Amino acid sequence: MSISECTDKPLDLSPVAAMVADRAPFSEGDVIDALQDMQTRYGYLPRAAMDEMARLSGVPVARLYGVATFYSQFHLQPHGRHAVRVCRGTACHVRGAAGILSAISRHLGIEDGDTTPDMQFSIESVACLGTCFLAPVMLVDDQYYGNLTSDKAVATLKRIQARDGAPNAAAQPAAQKGSAPCPP
């Protein structure tokens, strides 16, 4: 994804100050927490905000990037409004997680790790959601969905699309399986 950060609105950096001040005296031990806050606030880790945090906290910006790039939770690019986390853990794997992931990526027209052009969804496969007993599983934002089939997973996304009133709610069902009623 290459989404330019130079949007018309400049990024509001004022919340960064609180992220640092709340942890005074800010030490290296606070870096992960603070970055988690930043990601919650902006949805990703904007470059300008990282610079600002480095300036205010005195932690070198290289340190911040070192941490941000190490952990899979952090994104340096804007992510979609809804995070679709599809489990690829062992229990889900043996019960068909690959099929769920491919159905979702076909439905949204994006690959694992990418974001839809309208910024509505990001797909992210994760190692385990601790819901292995209902495999295969996905977590959309903070709602878990278990015992999935491809149909159920896609229907869930369609419900969210309908709720959000997204223009492409039913658009581009790229090579999607038909679900027309049985002809007589």
By beta carbon distance, the residue nearest ligand FES is 89
Say how many residues make up the chain: 184
Give start and end residues of each alpha helix (H) in 23-165.
Answer: 31-42, 47-57, 61-70, 90-94, 97-108, 150-164
**CB closer to ligand FES out of 90 and 143:** 90
9/38 Cα distance (integer angstroms): 18
Q: CA 46 to CA 76: how far, in whole Å?
A: 6
25 in contact with another protein (CB under 8 A): no
Residue with tokens 């804007």: 78
CB of 135 to another protein, least distance (A): 6
Question: Kind and range of the H or E element at 22?
Answer: none
Q: Which residues of 109-132 are buried (b: 16+ CB within 10 A; e: fewer)?
A: bbeeebbbeeebbbbbbbeebebb
CB of 171 to another protein, least distance (A): 18
State yes or no: residue 2 binds another protein (CB under 8 A): no
Other beta carbons within 10 Å of 22: 12
Site string for ligand FES, 76-95 (x = CB under 6 A): -----------x-xxxx---
Name the minimum Å distance from CB 121 to another protein.
18
What residues between 60 and 79 interact with another protein by CB under 8 A? 66-67, 70-74
Residue 140 in contact with ligand FES, rule: CB under 6 A:
no
Query: Which regions of 78-137 does DSSP assign to beta strands (E)?
Result: 82-87, 121-126
Which residues in the 121-180 window bind another protein by CB under 8 A? 126-135, 137, 139, 142-147, 149-152, 175, 177-180
Binding site for ligand FES (CB under 6 A): 87, 89-92, 128-132, 135, 137
Binding site for another protein (CB under 8 A): 27-33, 35-36, 66-67, 70-74, 85, 87-96, 99, 102, 106, 126-135, 137, 139, 142-147, 149-152, 175, 177-183
